[in-house]
Amino acid sequence: MVTLAEVAQHAGVSASTVSYVLSGKRSISTTTRQRVEESIRKLGYHPNAGARALASSRSNIIALMIPLRTDMYVPVMMEIAIAVAAVARTHGYDILLLTDEEGPDAVRRVTGSGLADAMILMDVELDDERLPLLRGADQPSVLIGLPADTEGLTCVDLDFRATGALCVEHLARLGHRDVAVIGEAAAVYERHTGFAERTLDGLRTRARELELRLLHRPCEGGYDAMAATLARVFDERPDTTGFVVQNEAAVEPLLALLRQQGRAVPEDVSVVAVCPEQVAIQASVRLTSVAVPAQEMGRRAVEQLVAKLDGRGSDEVVLLAPELTVRASSGPAPVQP
Amino acid sequence: MVTLAEVAQHAGVSASTVSYVLSGKRSISTTTRQRVEESIRKLGYHPNAGARALASSRSNIIALMIPLRTDMYVPVMMEIAIAVAAVARTHGYDILLLTDEEGPDAVRRVTGSGLADAMILMDVELDDERLPLLRGADQPSVLIGLPADTEGLTCVDLDFRATGALCVEHLARLGHRDVAVIGEAAAVYERHTGFAERTLDGLRTRARELELRLLHRPCEGGYDAMAATLARVFDERPDTTGFVVQNEAAVEPLLALLRQQGRAVPEDVSVVAVCPEQVAIQASVRLTSVAVPAQEMGRRAVEQLVAKLDGRGSDEVVLLAPELTVRASSGPAPVQP
DNA sequence: AGAGCCTGTCGAAGCGCTTCGACTGCTCTC
DNA sequence: GAGAGCAGTCGAAGCGCTTCGACAGGCTCT
């Protein structure tokens, strides 16, 4: 291992000078800087992370806490995580991957040990038990997701309420009067994960305003569950012509079942999905959808955090505006007989 | 921040004693140990990670390098990553998440800076440019995936050659003579990602031995691509009754298209998939499949690495034996007219 | 022309921990 | 009953870096 001292000796300067070249915290003459940089390159010097962290009480690491559960909206999580890692690097930070297995203890451990300078939490529940710790911590943090009480917290999320409203508006404009919402699995609502409830709220509020009838059904993924759910929907509301789906695992089954039942999309029935772009595009019918902007969410989360670490920025809730892309799965409602 | 010294003072012992209580590297009397542990708890002490790393030249961090590309086999990657993180914690390690965006530089940076004690690399290509660095490094590493030359490396992977063979054997036993292989996107083969080629090799070798006709077609995911591929397959080999699919994004399109063409699964055509369990179970027909044991791979990778870090263990290639689960998508070949 | 100010550099003091050697009382052993 | 051996504890020396204060030399003022 090459050390600072060796670089200094090689360049004929003192250790502190090398340090200042590296950090830029004091002005250094061009000739000295070049000589030092040359030595660094020649010797293949990399500053020791531990020593740096100890001396500066900055680890340049951001902890990212992702849900252990691998059953749900996995691609979104993955996309966020990768975006976070990539963007963090451009700001000079590395990412420490934490699962929520340890629960709140992980927060204590990481803040307590100075392992990371800050945290990003994903999959935040409305009344998450980690929140009090974050509020009390001296380290900045950002949530991806929106808890019930955002006081003293910084959050980044898609505006799911607006997302719901947007879906309803689209279907209403096309003339649909009876709309069914195929939601996430019941477990997701029970955990009080904010996004599912907020979408529903947006859907309901706007439906009321536009005088649409709305029927909400949670749904596990897969064919069997979807078949059962669909049967109940048409049983209860035979005139349903519009669907809003917020459940990646239900999208394809829904399309297949509709087809199988002789209901053409979009001639007889319109489908609007809330899902990542890729799912919407790769489906058997190109789906009209509101995209979940995973990368954007990851990016914004990191940027908020870096701003805080730099002493800029403040607690703030960033809600990304949803965008609805019209594709092949939605069209004018059929004229009712 | 509470420090070791404060704990020592609170417990009425020297700092080194506290350190030894923590590390267990020297024997400590029960009464002293208890007093120290009590103080630690009361003060809420967490050892400073940086200081620890500096003094011991051990960070207790394992770097995990995952592919940036989010277009491919994402759930598998995610599952591995999460398993790695969880298992690493049980051994006292945290995970540093690296994307392959930095390429080989990331390896240099991490080894050079002592940020991590070891690395796990995913998505290894047959002739990966990071390999020479790993061979030369003084840090242990484990690959998930199998490069062409495994000399001096530790690798963990599913035995994809055996996987291919297993699929062919299953179809042969059922009496199928003409089998089509729907592979990953052409780009995957071009990158020379080992697993795709090895599966193909296993398929071909065993097919030759069992005198099956095999037709391999790479396929992008999605419906349009699958439709084109399928048309070409039946055009070229009208008697095809067996399919092996190694491409998550092609599974559902294939099933839908077969159905649409009036070919019943498994009565007319059998389908065997190589994919994660969940995909096989959630598909519109429950798929006979060889599971990609993502969690197991992650677990084994960490265990190999920890063994090396502890001075146990050696370079070794761990190939997990594939298991084929018969479900509803495969059955006896129809009698040829 | 001297006070006052930058600019560029250095030395030294830690940051909080691990670990080595040394020391103190013991208990064994022959 | 003297020597060996061991369990239990301590002090001090770093680990490699950042950062503070100091200072030399050159500049701009009045």
Asked whether residue B304 falls in the same domain as residue B226, the answer is: no
Give the residue numbers spanning the domain of B86: 61-157+294-320
User: Per this entry, what is the length of chain B?
Assistant: 337
Return the pLDDT at A169.
Answer: 98
Question: B110 and B230: one domain?
Answer: no
For B222-293, where are the alpha helices, taking DSSP H only?
223-236, 248-260, 277-282
Residue B15: nearest nucleotide (C-alpha to C1') = D10
Could you tell me which residues are beta bridge partners of residue B318? B156
A20 touches strand C (CB under 7 A): yes
Mark residues 34-53 of chain A whose C-beta is closer than 7 A to nucleic acid strand C.
51
Yes or no, beta carbons of B89 and A96 under 8 Å apart: no
Whether residues A98 and B97 touch (CB distance < 8 A) is answered with: no
Given this model, what pLDDT does residue A283 score? 86
Number of domain units in chain B: 3
In this structure, the answer to whether residues B152 and B175 fall within a common structural domain is no
Structural domain contains residue B327? no
Residue B298 confidence (pLDDT): 97
Q: Which residues does chain B have within 8 Å of residue A89's beta carbon, measured at their own beta carbons?
A: 99, 101-102
Closest residue to D8 (CA to C1') is B28
Within-domain flag for A333: no
Instruction: Say if B56 falls within a structural domain.
Output: no
Q: Chain D: nucleotides under 7 Å from a protein CB?
A: 7-12, 14-21
Which of A275, A292, A309 corresponds to the end of one domain? A292
Task: Give contacts of A101 with chain B, Cβ < 8 Å.
Answer: 86, 89
- Read out DSSP for A20-68? HHHH--S---HHHHHHHHHHHHHHT----HHHHHHHHS---EEEEEE-S
Q: Decide: CB of B26 under 7 A of nucleic strand D.
A: yes
Residue A16, by phi and psi: left (phi above 0), alpha (psi -120 to 50) or beta? Answer: alpha
Residue A55 belongs to a domain: no
> Could you read off the pLDDT of B121-175 as tens digits, one per residue?
998 888 999 999 999 888 999 999 999 999 999 999 999 999 999 999 999 999 9
What is the CATH number for B245?
A: 3.40.50.2300
The answer, yes or no, to whether residue B71 has pLDDT greater than 80, is no
Residues A27 and A104 placed together within one structural domain of the fold: no
Do B259 and B184 share a structural domain?
yes
Taking only the tens place, the pLDDT of each residue in B222-239 is: 888 999 999 999 999 999
Residues B153 and B298 in one domain: yes
For residue B134, the model assigns a pLDDT of: 94
H-helix or E-strand spanning residue B156: strand B155-158
Contact A67, A123 (CB under 8 A): yes
**Inside any domain, residue B334:** no
Which residues does residue A111 pair with via DSSP β-bridges, in sequence order?
none
Residue A65, beta-bridge partner list? A98, A121
- Cβ of B98 within 8 Å of Cβ of A81? The answer is no
Q: Say whether both A82 and A193 belong to one domain.
A: no
**For the packed helices A49-56 and B49-56, what is the interaxial angle rounded to 10 degrees?**
140
Q: Which residues pair with B242 in a beta bridge?
A: B179, B270
Is residue B196 over pLDDT 80? Answer: yes
B15 touches strand C (CB under 7 A): yes
Q: Do B253 and A284 touch (CB under 8 A)?
A: yes
The whole-angstrom separation of Cα A321 and Cα B242 is 47
In a domain, B332, yes or no: no
A102 with A33, same domain: the answer is no
3-state SS class at A334: coil
- Give the pLDDT confidence of B235-291 residue by residue, as tens digits: 999 999 999 999 988 998 999 999 989 999 999 999 999 999 988 988 889 999 999
- pLDDT tens by residue, chain A, 337 residues: 899 999 999 999 999 999 999 999 999 999 999 999 999 999 999 999 999 999 999 999 999 999 887 656 677 888 899 999 999 999 999 999 999 888 899 999 999 999 999 999 998 888 999 999 999 888 999 999 999 999 999 999 999 999 999 999 999 999 999 999 999 999 888 887 889 999 999 999 999 999 999 999 999 888 889 999 999 999 999 999 999 999 988 998 999 999 989 999 999 999 999 999 988 988 889 999 999 999 999 999 999 999 999 988 788 899 999 999 999 999 999 986 6
pLDDT at A187: 87
Q: Is residue A229 one of the residues assigned to a domain? A: yes
**Domain check: are A13 and A94 in the same one?**
no
* Mean pLDDT for the stretch of residues B66-85: 83
Q: d(Cα A149, Cα A199) in Å, to the nearest integer?
A: 17
Domain match, B120 and B83 both? yes
B13 with B40, same domain: the answer is: yes
- CATH number, domain containing residue A23: 1.10.260.40
Q: Which window residues (19-38, chain B) lie with Cβ within 7 Å of strand C?
A: 19-20, 22-23, 25
From chain A, the residues in CB contact with B98 under 8 A are 85, 94
Domain contains A103 = yes
pLDDT score, position B337:
62
* Inter-residue contact A244 to A208 (CB < 8 Å): no
B277 and B308 inside one domain:
no
